[in-house]
Amino acid sequence: MEAQRNTKLIIKVLIVGAVIAVLSYLFHPEVGQLSVIINGQPIPDSLVSFAAIPTFLVILGLTIILTVLVCLCFWARYLLH
């Protein structure tokens, strides 16, 4: 019973987070513009913009790994309980 309630709560949190992310993206004044800003100044150099992509991918990968580890810990705790 409690696992089902927790699953519903997780789904609600994910839906609310997705709605907030979509609305903040849609109503942001610079939608569609990809630029790198350092110290408040836009960087026109394409090499710096290109370097931002691998950094983003590394951060995204670390976030995915941590999320999977947390889910596995909760899943293992649920099975052992």
pLDDT in tens, 13-42: 888 888 888 887 777 766 656 667 778 887
- pLDDT winner (highest mean) among 40-49, 51-60, 62-71: 62-71
Pair 78, 3: CB distance under 8 Å: yes
pTM value? 0.44
